[in-house]
Amino acid sequence: MSIFEQDLPKVQANHVALSPLTFIERSASVYPDYPAVVHGEIRRSWAETWARCRQLASALAGRGLKPGIR
């Protein structure tokens, strides 16, 4: 059995539920200056992407949207 086939106990050190938002937040904290978005001439780092996500969430909350509303 290889090391990749062994199950580790799920503790905070090795297991965190990953959602799109936690992925972006974690990437921004670990790789703030690395490219996250490349589209033509547009380049955004993980830090910029995380800041823009928070800005969008704030704007949506300001319009009355709440978590769980689709």
Structure confidence by residue, pLDDT tens digits, 15-59: 777 888 889 999 999 999 999 999 999 999 999 999 999 999 999
Query: Running DSSP on this structure, what letter comes out for residue 9?
Result: P
37: nearest Cα among 26, 24, 54: 24
E strand or H helix that includes residue 65:
none
Res 4 pLDDT > 80: no
- Report the Cα 66 to chain-centroid distance in Å: 19
Band (pLDDT 50/70/90 cuts) for residue 1 is low
Which residues 6+ apart lie within 8 Å of 70 measured at CB? none
For residues 6 and 14, give the distance between their C-alpha atoms in angstroms, rounded to a whole number: 13
Q: What is the pTM of this model?
A: 0.72
